[in-house]
Amino acid sequence: MSEVAKGCSHYLEYKKVHGLQSYKIIYRYLVKPSSEARKLKAKTCVCHVCHCFSSRLHTCLSCVYFGCSDPENHMYIHVKTTGHILAVELNYGTVFCFKCRDYIYDAELDQISREIDQQAVHKQFFERRQPVAYVAWEPTKAEIELLRQNPKRRKVEPDSTIGLRGLYNLGNTCFMNSILQALVHTPVLRDYFLSDKHRCYSDAMQRQCVVCEMGNLFQQFYSGQCTPHVPFKLLHLVWTHARHLAGYEQQDAHEFFIATLDVLHHHSGGQTPTVTMPGFCSCIVDQTFGGRLQSDVTCQTCRTVSTTVDPFRDISLDLAASMVTNRTDIQGDNSSPASSNSGETLLSSVPTTLDECLERFTRPEPLGSESKIKCNKCRSYQESTKRLTVKKLPIVVCFHLKRFEHSLRSRKISNIIQFSTEIDMKPFMARSSSTCDNRYSLFAVVNHSGSLHNGHYTCYIRQQQDQWFKCDDAWLTKATAEEVLSSEGYLLFYHKKVLEYS
């Protein structure tokens, strides 16, 4: 983006002769319209040549003309015909110079946009002295007539590509692109953001709100555009709010996923879990990914069970072989493996399936003599076992296969873990769980190829029932279910088949 200080002579000359009154009008009525100006925007914001609505629509700064930038690029044709080389992009209000072929940054333009944004927020919210509640859209007579005059509709057909769009790599950002593809194709999140249910109540919040930008990302994906999207603003906001991910070094996709959910949680007004209501939060993040793990610690002397419940947003599963103590006297919440070699420590086998990983995750684990816990009944420190089970399942469960081992011998574990398109979580649920249907369906898989310190992330996403696509940054290619299931797998995203409402 060109800075005026460095000099875009075309813009400087225009500003000197004409001033910025035209820009103010365009920004106020077309970029950040009030409720009164929305009808005007709906009627005028189409390309004057092909009459289509484009997410990259520009309007001429010198005359009344709207033109699309792709695929026909009628705006550029207008520039060559008239010599009007400055145009305003209508999504963000940035000025583009067709001579310099770059967007322009000017502190004066930025100040104008800030003032208009602030005025719109003040008028809409603060004069009413209360937040504006979400109201479902109902078309007016004028809007109904407008819909009748434009009968063309976008329909999701079996071979529809709406929602499919690549993401440009901005410099080792394949980890971010893979997670964003998985999030954009999460059905519950898609319905939430396309319903425009999130609201920010101040200009400052909107400019720094990751939830607002995530909503914009969904709009970009489902606008019908097929060209790759550039998620530069979302990357900047993540860098701002998750400093440990800032920079152009390769990052861990799982770490980015957790950090993104955490930032989205805070920016959507998420509540901190309490002792009485662990994991309870009404924000879209916890309503989608939030579950509860039950931890049962059993005293091996008196069999008293101490239970705690903690929130989770993903389940991390070990892949490496671990040391297991075979003891016939170890008992968990349900049962435990028996062995004739009491007290013998063995090296467990390496898991080969997702079910085996979950069985290892939920089986009783002896805490050992060095980690004795004080038993309330025995009133002394006793050896105990600990068992984790799922108390409450989320709508979307993400399984993190721990392929990166950071210890004295850091390495990547490339074992093939078999997983299926459907999974039943019933065997891994706590006894006290009241969930009726525990079946899940696979809809996204994030993969990592390469070594521990050098690699590349890609993502498989399910577009419709049985249509799979491989997302490799800006490139999207059709894939088969067999190809997905034979991939290595790093993050596995499953969606609940039957949603329960309470």
Q: Which pTM was predicted?
A: 0.66
In this predicted structure, what is the pLDDT of residue 122? 59
Q: Is the pLDDT of residue 209 over 60?
A: yes
- Inter-residue contact 440 to 450 (CB < 8 Å): no
Rounded average pLDDT over 361-370? 84
Contacting residues for 329 by C-beta, under 8 A, at least 6 apart: 300, 342
Q: What is the 3-state secondary structure (H, E, C) of 197-234?
A: CCCCCCHHHHHHCHHHHHHHHHHHHCCCCCCCECCHHH
Q: Is the pLDDT of residue 128 over 60?
A: no
Q: Which of 49-58, 138-147, 332-341 has the lowest mean pLDDT?
A: 332-341
pLDDT digits (tens, 9 = 90+) for 416-462: 899 999 999 999 998 877 667 889 999 999 999 988 878 899 999 99
- Give the chain's mean pLDDT: 81
Rounded average pLDDT over 336-350? 49
Region for residue 489 given its phi and psi (left: phi exceeds 0; alpha: psi -120 to 50; beta: otherwise) = left
Active site residues: 174, 456
Q: In Å, how far from its chain's centre is CA 142?
A: 36
For CA atoms 318, 322, 328, 329, the dihedral sign is negative
pLDDT digits (tens, 9 = 90+) for 242-285: 888 877 778 899 999 999 999 999 888 766 554 444 446 778 99
For residue 82 the two structure tokens come to 């008239």
In this predicted structure, what is the pLDDT of residue 469? 95
CA 419, CA 482: separation in Å to the nearest integer? 11
CA 425, CA 239: separation in Å to the nearest integer? 36
- Inter-residue contact 487 to 416 (CB < 8 Å): no
Q: Is the pLDDT of residue 127 over 80?
A: no
- Inter-residue contact 391 to 292 (CB < 8 Å): yes
Q: In Å, how far from its chain's centre is CA 275?
A: 28
Place of tokens 């009154």: 21
